């Protein structure tokens, strides 16, 4: 199947913006741009919502009723398949009161039991959507750092429930400093990392410094992947368009003020990161974070945000997505975790339609 050359297509699900979200002519235009960029995969990211980090009940509605969002996701997957793109479906969690999902903490074991019961209902609903729409891969969770090593038994139960509803490949989107902590990698098919790696420790770092930082990240991950016999992909990667984006890349654009736009710095960080990884045979690709379902709407994030659209970073993506990657070399025997021949499975699912 070749390496995963992907991009995330973010939703515009708000009822205040009808006709421009998933499954609309706007998202079709965005997908056409991805194909022109050289993508062969797209990531679709529907959301559920928690009120705060202690809430145990996940709401299925996100700015629109769940039934509407589900239908829109099915349509956008159909649009992607019509363009020859494979699909990773990534159900996300949004915390209304603020805070990072990796710090979810219900406070008691009983609270965790309620949280996992609610989360299982949430993610299995989206697993059914993935099965209905023939999405090729599903992420079981995103950056659940507060529980991925301490509540492994509950996560295994969630994975088993997902497997009963969905027959495709499974990944988990670990935070960039979490891959060595996750206790259920052996239960899924490919290691996923949200790879917002810092590549330098100080502002003003030149390209060669960033390259050295990226090579060190690749070396550490290679050691871990080979020791654990795992294939790895970036379920998200990217940097913002501001000075020194690879020093503290996890800083959210909307939390910053008075920032100067620096599209060249974004492109340099892209190049440093990708050049260190694309030649590795254990690295099966990634999804740049991110584009939006309405490509003409620039209001989804700050001007110095993550989107590379119409910026120098797109030229870097186009160049490197056209190159031959290490995981392109042996197309017949790309083995993911559990000994499953992922390339054969995907090709079978793809052509069986």
Tell me how far apart the alpha carbons of residues 234 and 330 are, in angstroms, rounded to a whole number.
20
pLDDT in tens, 64-93: 899 999 999 999 999 999 999 999 999 999
pLDDT at residue number 16 = 75
Domain boundaries defined on the chain: 4-351
Q: What number does CATH give the domain 4-351?
A: 3.20.20.80
pLDDT at residue number 330 = 55
Q: Is the pTM of this model over 0.95?
A: no
Return the exposure string of 21-45: e unless at least 16 CB atoms fall within 10 Å of the residue's CB, then b.
Answer: bbbbebbbebbebbeebebbbbbbb
pLDDT at residue number 348 = 35
pLDDT in tens, 335-345: 333 333 443 33
Tell me how far apart the alpha carbons of residues 102 and 207 are, in angstroms, rounded to a whole number.
31
83 with 41: CB under 8 angstroms?
no
pLDDT at residue number 64 = 85
* Main-chain phi, psi angles of 83, to 5 degrees: -100, 10
Longest CA–CA span in the chain (Å) reads 52
Element spanning 234, H or E? strand 232-237
pLDDT at residue number 125 = 98
Task: Walk along the chain (353 residues) and give the pLDDT tens digit of each residue.
Answer: 689 999 999 987 667 778 899 999 999 999 999 999 999 999 999 999 999 999 999 999 988 899 999 999 999 999 999 999 999 999 999 999 989 999 999 999 999 999 999 999 999 999 999 999 999 999 999 999 999 999 999 999 999 999 999 999 999 999 999 999 999 999 999 999 999 999 999 999 999 999 999 999 999 999 999 999 999 999 999 999 999 999 999 898 988 988 999 999 999 999 999 999 999 999 999 999 999 999 988 788 899 999 999 999 999 999 999 999 999 965 444 433 333 344 333 333 332 33
311 with 260: CB under 8 angstroms?
no
User: Cα Rg for the chain, rounded, in angstroms?
Assistant: 19
Tell me how far apart the alpha carbons of residues 166 and 120 are, in angstroms, rounded to a whole number.
13
pLDDT at residue number 329 = 62
pLDDT at residue number 1 = 64
pLDDT at residue number 332 = 42
């Amino acid at each position: 199947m070749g390496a995963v050359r992907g991009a995330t297509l973010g939703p515009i699900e708000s009822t205040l913006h009808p006709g421009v979200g998933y499954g609309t002519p706007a998202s079709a235009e965005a997908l056409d741009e991805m194909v022109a960029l050289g993508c062969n995969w797209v990531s679709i990211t529907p959301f559920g919502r928690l009120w705060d980090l202690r809430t145990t009940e996940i709401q299925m509605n996100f700015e629109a009723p769940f039934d509407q969002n589900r239908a829109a996701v099915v349509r956008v997957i159909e649009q992607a398949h019509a363009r020859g793109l494979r699909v990773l479906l990534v159900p996300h969690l949004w915390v209304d009161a603020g805070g990072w999902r990796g710090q979810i903490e219900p406070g008691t074991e009983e609270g965790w039991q309620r949280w996992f019961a609610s989360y299982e209902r949430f993610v299995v609903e989206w697993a059914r959507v993935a099965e209905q729409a023939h999405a090729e891969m599903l992420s079981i969770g995103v950056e659940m750092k507060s529980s991925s090593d301490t509540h492994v038994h509950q996560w295994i139960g969630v994975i088993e429930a997902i497997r009963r509803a969905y027959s495709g490949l499974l990944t988990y989107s670990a935070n960039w400093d979490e891959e060595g902590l996750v206790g259920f990698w052996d239960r899924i098919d490919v290691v996923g990392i949200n790879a917002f790696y810092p590549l330098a420790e100080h502002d003003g770092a030149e390209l060669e410094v960033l390259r050295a930082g990226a090579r060190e990240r690749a070396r550490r991950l290679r050691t871990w992947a080979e020791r654990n016999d795992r294939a790895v992909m970036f379920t998200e990667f990217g940097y913002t368009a501001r000075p020194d984006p690879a020093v503290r890349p996890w800083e959210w654009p909307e939390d910053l003020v008075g920032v100067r736009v620096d599209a060249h710095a974004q492109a340099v960080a892209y190049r440093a990161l990708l050049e260190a990884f694309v030649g590795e045979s254990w690295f099966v690709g990634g999804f740049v974070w991110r584009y939006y379902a309405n490509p003409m709407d620039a209001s989804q994030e700050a001007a110095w945000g993550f989107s590379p659209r119409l910026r120098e970073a797109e030229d870097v993506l186009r160049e490197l997505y056209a190159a031959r990657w290490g995981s392109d070399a042996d197309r017949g025997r790309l083995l993911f975790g559990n000994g499953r021949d992922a390339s054969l499975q995907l090709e079978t699912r793809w052509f069986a339609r």
